[in-house]
């Protein structure tokens, strides 16, 4: 079952809330001693995350299917997507599966059971300690949850409608996600233009006298805001790249925010003078932005 993005967190007695963890969606399937862990697109993750497989193997059930989020926690106990992406033996003890739903238990399918019933069975199944943890409902006001997520740099909040069934493969709106973001001001160092305007920007910031690369942003502006941005940037083009270094985009890594060699050659570089407001989920340890998006030009 998929989450429907929401611009605002739904409110009312018919909604229950959970924290949104920044990781990989994982489906754990137990059939006796045979346990497999799958990604959302069906890729087998069992060997890569064997710690979770062993934890599921030990639960007190002959068969079960558990839906959850695979996360790697940092030293402060926060999900760190960068660590999960680069997961290796040294991070084994930081790996967890936060279980939030139960689709089958002892051969009985639970898709048509209301979510409260599935959650109740899940609480009994998940042990009190170990790599398998429960992502339970949180009894708090939406505003307090949003503030908590922002203060702790968490990805956001999930809202689930009471009584909702498990609609596999659907994004019905019975489950919604509200993402929380950080915001900051950055300078444009380059742009990629098309026949209809600016397609993307390369942005950065100054530190220790050097212009550091932060991210590549796709531009979805239209009308007057796009025209004004184009006008500003086209007047500054024709200079060499001001970034101290531009990281190469790894073709196999869809989360990489660097540039391919081909895109680097296509970019037009400008003096880093134009400030813009950018929202993003987090800074990586390499000083890059994850899930960055353009808010608008700074005043």
Decide if pLDDT at 238 tops 80. Answer: no
Q: Which pair of structure tokens corresponds to residue 274?
A: 């134009």
Whole-angstrom Cα Rg for the chain = 22
Q: Is the model's pLDDT at 250 over the cut of 70?
A: no
pLDDT of residue 298: 64
Per-residue confidence (pLDDT) for residue 236, from 0 to 100: 73
Confidence of residue 222 (pLDDT cuts 50, 70, 90): low
User: Is residue 201 classed as helix, strand or coil in its secondary structure?
Assistant: strand
Task: Report the pLDDT value the prediction gives residue 239, as an integer from 0 to 100.
Answer: 81
> Is residue 72 a contact partner of residue 84, using CB atoms and an 8 Å limit?
yes
Strand pairing report for 63-72 and 15-20 = unpaired
pLDDT at 110 (0 to 100): 98
Higher pLDDT, 194 or 161: 161
Percent of the chain predicted with pLDDT > 70:
94
Is the overall model pTM greater than 0.95, yes or no?
no
Q: What is the mean pLDDT of the chain?
A: 90
Q: Would you call 86 helix, strand, or coil by DSSP?
A: coil
* CB contact at 8 A, 110 and 121: yes
Cα–chain-centroid distance for residue 8? 17
Position 251 scores a pLDDT of 56
Between the ranges 53-67, 144-158, 211-225, where is the mean pLDDT highest? 53-67
Mean pLDDT to the nearest integer, 22-49: 96
Domains of the chain: 22-134 (3.30.470.30), 182-297 (2.40.50.140)
* pLDDT at position 143 over 70: yes
Q: What is the mean pLDDT of residues 68-81?
A: 92
């Amino acid at each position: 079952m998929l989450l429907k993005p929401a611009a605002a967190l739904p409110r009312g007695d018919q909604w229950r809330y959970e924290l949104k963890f920044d990781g990989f969606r994982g489906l754990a399937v137990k059939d006796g001693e045979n346990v497999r862990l799958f990604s959302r697109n069906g890729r087998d993750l069992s060997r890569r995350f064997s710690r979770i497989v062993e934890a599921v193997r030990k639960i007190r059930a002959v068969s079960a299917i558990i839906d959850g989020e695979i996360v790697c926690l940092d030293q402060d106990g926060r999900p760190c997507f960068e660590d999960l992406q680069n997961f290796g033996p040294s991070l084994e003890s930081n790996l967890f599966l936060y279980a939030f739903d139960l689709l089958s238990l002892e051969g009985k399918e639970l898709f048509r059971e209301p979510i409260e019933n599935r959650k109740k069975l899940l609480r009994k199944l998940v042990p009190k300690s170990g790599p398998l943890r429960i992502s339970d409902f949180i009894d708090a006001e939406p505003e307090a949850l949003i503030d908590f997520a922002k203060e702790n740099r968490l990805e956001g909040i999930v809202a689930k409608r009471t009584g909702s069934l498990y609609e596999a493969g659907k994004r019905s709106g019975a489950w919604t996600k509200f993402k929380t973001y950080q915001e900051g001001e950055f300078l444009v160092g380059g742009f990629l233009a098309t026949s209809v305007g600016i397609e993307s920007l390369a942005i950065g910031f100054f530190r220790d006298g050097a212009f550091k690369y932060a991210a590549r942003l796709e531009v979805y502006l239209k009308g007057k805001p796009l025209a004004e941005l184009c006008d500003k940037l086209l007047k500054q083009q024709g200079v060499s790249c001001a970034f101290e270094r531009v990281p190469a985009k790894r073709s196999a890594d869809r989360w990489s925010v660097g540039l391919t060699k081909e895109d680097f050659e296509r970019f037009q570089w400008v003096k880093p003078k134009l400030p813009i407001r950018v929202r993003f989920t987090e800074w990586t340890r390499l000083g890059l932005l994850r899930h960055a998006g353009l808010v608008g030009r700074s005043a």
